[in-house]
Structure formats: structure tokens, C-alpha cells
Amino acid sequence: MVMSITINQAKLGGGILHGKNALAQGMGFPMPLVLAQLCAATVVRWLLVPRTSDPRRLLILMIIGLALSESGEFNGIFLVAQSMPETKMAIFYLSLVSALQFIPFYAGSGEGMAPGDNGQA
């Protein structure tokens, strides 16, 4: 997903953009939408994923969280004007960090699994 966000920015968003915003946007549309999606992804990762022990539900939550992370990037590419490069890059970096939080560092630890249990029902 991290590579997907990077490739989407490179191909669809014009790569790494430089320059200042043409006008001061502040928290105008689509920033509240993007922030809501990224906050929802963070809630999924840090509140719902740790409480889930079923591998199938964990996979579903991870997919939902990653989709929310990537949706912010698509909103930045398609809903923010080309004359707003700072805003576009801020959304890109926030989406990238949001997707990075879903890297499953805990997956190989095997904590909480019975001997011989491979996570399948």
C-alpha cells in the first residue's frame, strides 16, 4: 500500500510538487474529509486491531484501515486544485504515514498462539 500511494502520487499527482499554494485554503474542502478518513484509519489501527484475536477479522480491519489511508491520497489528487501544491503534498505525506502505521511488526511474534497453532480455524 505504501508503494501504491507513492506510485499514485508519481503518476497521477505529478510527483513531488514544489511551490506555494496560490491562495490560503485553511481548512476548506476537502481537508476535513481527508482528516476524518485518516483519523478513522488511526482509530482502526490503534483501538480496534489490538482488541481483535481472530485472524480473519484482523485481516478485514487491516484492509479497511489501509483503504481509509489510501482514500486520503486519492482525495488529494483529484479534489485539490493543481494550484495548491503544498496542500497536495501535505495530504500525500499524511496518507503515507497513515499507511505506514499498518505495517504488522507484531505478526511474527507468535504471542498468544498455542503451540502448533498457525492461526487457521
Pull the grid cell for residue 58: 484482523
Sign of CA dihedral 85, 91, 94, 99: negative
Q: What is the DSSP letter of 28?
A: -
Q: Is residue 44 one of the residues assigned to a domain?
A: yes
Q: Which domain holds residue 79?
A: 2-7+30-100
Q: What is the mean pLDDT of residues 87-98?
A: 88
Q: Is residue 55 one of the residues assigned to a domain?
A: yes
Q: Is residue 105 one of the residues assigned to a domain?
A: no
Pull the grid cell for residue 1: 500500500
Tell me: pLDDT of 42 over 60: yes
Give the SS3 label for residue 25.
Answer: coil
Q: Is residue 23 one of the residues assigned to a domain?
A: no
- Amino acid at residue number 92: F
Q: Is residue 85 one of the residues assigned to a domain?
A: yes
Q: What integer pLDDT is reported at residue 114 of this predicted model? A: 47
Q: If pLDDT is split at 50, 70 and 90, which confidence band does 4 have?
A: confident
Please count the structural domains in the chain: 1
- Closest to 8 in 3D by CA, of 70, 69, 64: 70
Percent of the chain with pLDDT over 70: 79
Q: What is the mean pLDDT of residues 86-103?
A: 88
